[in-house]
Amino acid sequence: MTATTDGSAGPLPPRATSASERTGRAATPAAAGPLDPVERVAARTAERATAHLLAAQHPDGWWKGILETNVTMDAEDLLLRQFLGIQEPRVLEAAARWIRSQQREDGTWATFHGGPGEISTTVEAYVALRLAGDEPTDAHMATAAAWVRAHGGVAATRVFTRIWLALFGWWKWEDLPELPPEIIYLPKWFPLNLYSFGQWARQTIVPLTVVGAHRPVRPSPFPIDELHTDPAVPNPPRPAAPLHSWEGVFQRLDKALHAYRKVSIRPLRRTALGVAARWIIERQENDGCWGGIQPPAVYSIIALRLLGYDLDHPVMRAGLASLDRFAVWHEDGSRMVEACQSPVWDTCLATIALADAGLPADHPALVKAADWMLQEQIGKRGDWSVRRPELTPGGWAFEFDNDNYPDIDDTAEVVLALKRVDHPDRARLASAIERGVLWNLGMQSKNGAWGAFDVDNTSRFPNRLPFCDFGEVIDPPSADVTAHVVEMLAAVGLRDDPRTRRGVDWLLAEQERDGSWFGRWGVNYVYGTGSVVPALIGVGLPVEHPAIRRAVAWLESVQNADGGWGEDLRSYPDQEWAGRGTSTASQTAWALMALLSAGERDGKAVERGVRWLADTQNEDGSWDEPYFTGTGFPWDFSINYHLYRMVFPVTALGRYLHGEPALLAAPLGEAA
């Protein structure tokens, strides 16, 4: 697009054909002569990193790095086992060892590396260690309990934490927000219907309405009085918010729902519980999990148990077995539970990285990865079809098994990965790409952008419910997902399509005043900017466009003194942290990818970033990255993708050395 006087987008000029497009091979900027010192450093670093990444490929063709979150996953796994009566001493001790290893010096547990203590996480970790036999008088436990009391006690924790405590009588059910199972009957036009929630929240809420309807209490193995500011009054009264405020309105709605519980029509409730059970079972994946993520799995198992499903029932056996597959056993004997697993995401990113680093497009590793991705394409309808009933399936999910919830981001990146592979079955490859592109196009929201899983999932009412204090519960469009889709559409020859242009216009309007973009699924403005700039350049925006220049200036302004880039998760609640934090390999790579696409290859910022990657690389070709650079819910739930430290530096170094990525498959046909 050409720049207009106000910085908006005009008609797209023809883009020059690159050397990579003409030849199907990556163009090396230094090919005309010997490598300069920085290029030699980059080539050596990329070679070692590429070898390390190749060695990590599974024989079946996929990659999967550890997905690390926080110890609530481990604590809730133990509480689930306690509730079901299936606690295993070996698992209990191994999980407790991991939880203890993550405790901070002040006695707390954080939600990300280097972050502050968090009260809900600390309470859940503390209770889990009590299950493992740690005593309140133990020094590490006493310190944790004192901190909890000083920060408001159990009453200050989130709703989910108090639900877990209520299962054992450590909290009163009547003191929890109410959400009845009859919500499943609400029509799609109603503001708080089930499909106004994001997919992750939807899958969690349905089983929790079953749990809340039953209000079960198992015998508590010990008291937790030491976690209350006043054990005699564990839930001190709080003044109600003003009626004219949204908080006040929803507080009173919650009171009405509590009153409804007492007068609800019993046959209607029984029927609603039966509908909820069918809804849950219909969404169980082939591997036994629900949505490929831990929270809906544990609550679904509890809900079905309360509805009379025996632990030997095939649904229950498969569900419990799926949770065991989320466990990572460390060499020291500790056991960590992943909240989710990311093989499709990791595989498409690894494929892009290796191809951009110069691996031949027909390399066996890339062909094998493409084979695996092709078989993972989803051909059935999921919850997305509630809003798009006529749309033909064709997306990819994030996990091994999550056919109900393919996501737009993975689909875009898988298409970009497949476009880099010279697959022997070109017809099969082209068909898969076309179905993926058409599905993504059909999932465009009315504002021209894309969310992660759903269309127009933008109602603000679900976030206001007292029940929903566990993070983002809706799925509005985001700059990073929209950028990946726009980049993909340009790659398949739809750069001038009106739908692509609407996405570009939305991205330009979303740029922050300082030149950055907000990162919804990665931390944070560095991720958003690193995603958007390559997409805008790929779709034809000239490097001189004001939006690109502002982005470059911002990235250069937040580069660390050591040459790298880093951003702390505190940038979500506090703008002062935007672009600030300890340098990491993944975030440095995101910045480099943006700068390289913006024509800054020979600039000082790029040189310093490349040298930082070289200087911090380990002997085995990897990078250390304890910092969390992935986002589940901004601020509330953070992720350390252990493969990010590899795939993104390899991609950035490859683009530094070889220029624009080579895309081999033919553009999409007129059918799009």
- The answer to whether 638 and 592 have CB atoms below 8 angstroms apart is no
CA distance 597 to 137: 58
Closest CA to 477 of 453, 497, 498, 449: 449
Q: Give the C-alpha separation, 336 to 381, whole Å.
A: 33
Tokens 């908006």 belong to residue? 8
Residues 6+ apart with CB under 8 A from 139: none
Is 409 a residue of the active site? yes
Q: What would you report as the CA-atom Rg of the chain, rounded to the nearest whole angstrom?
A: 25
**Residue 42, H or E segment:** helix 37-55
Q: Which amino acid would we find at residue 249?
A: V
Written as one string, the DSSP assignment of 463-520 is HHSTT--SS--SB---HHHHHHHHHHHHHTT-TT-HHHHHHHHHHHHH--TTS----S
Q: How many helices (H) and strands (E) does the chain have?
A: 24, 5
Which H or E run contains 296? Answer: helix 294-306
C-alpha closest to that of 631 among 531, 534, 557, 564: 531
Q: What values do phi and psi take at 638, rounded to 5?
A: -115, 155
- Name the active-site residue from 346, 356, 403, 409: 409
* Count of alpha carbons within 13 angstroms of residue 91, beta-carbon side: 18
3-class state of residue 86 by DSSP:
coil
DSSP state of 137: T
Give the separation between CA 635 and CA 571, rounded to whole angstroms.
8
User: Under 8 Å CB-to-CB from 594, ≥6 apart: which residues?
Assistant: 529, 530, 532, 533, 534, 551, 552, 555
Strand partners, 401: none
Closest by CA to 48, choosing from 608, 649, 659, is 649
Say how far apart CA 359 and CA 362 lie, in whole Å.
8
Q: How far apart are CA 21 and CA 107, in angstroms?
A: 57
In 3D, which of 577, 583, 538, 540 has the Cα closest to residue 559?
583
∠ Cα 226 230 235 (to 5°): 105
144-159 core/surface letters (b: 16 or more CB in 10 A; e: else): bbebbbebebbbebbb
Find the Cα–Cα–Cα–Cα dihedral 579, 581, 587, 588, rounded to 10°.
90
Looking at the annotation, which residues are catalytic?
409
